[in-house]
Amino acid sequence: MKTLLRLFGSERVAVGIDSRNGQVVNARLGKQHALSAVNFALHLASLGIERIIYTDVSRDGMLNGIDVEATCEIARACGLEVTASGGVSSLEDIRGREPHNLRH
């Protein structure tokens, strides 16, 4: 990670966090880890990462909308820029949820 940051700069590196029930999960293997998504985001922040891409894998591909609460919790806890991923089926899923509305 440090090498990537050194080579490309923190403004050009985003790290994805896949989560289920608030815990980091390896989506490819379906394996859940004993590490919370919030704690992992805090660790990434300590390394100098500026942006994460957060996916609640239980919503990904389901077209039920993003997990707004978990996305906001991570953003508040770590102070990073957070891109919500997975679950969006239409503009209605994100309408009224511009970044200034998600931060508080």
Query: Is 80 a domain residue?
Result: yes
Give the global pTM. 0.77
100: left (phi over 0), alpha (psi -120 to 50) or beta: alpha
Domain count, the chain: 1
- How far apart (Å, rounded) are the C-alpha atoms in residues 78 and 27? 22
Query: Is 50 a domain residue?
Result: yes
Q: What is the CATH number of the domain that holds 60?
A: 3.40.50.12600
Query: Is 96 a domain residue?
Result: no
Give pLDDT tens digits along the chain (104 positions): 788 888 888 888 999 999 888 899 986 666 667 799 999 999 999 999 999 999 888 766 555 667 778 888 999 999 999 988 877 777 776 665 555 444 43
- How far apart (Å, rounded) are the C-alpha atoms in residues 22 and 72? 12
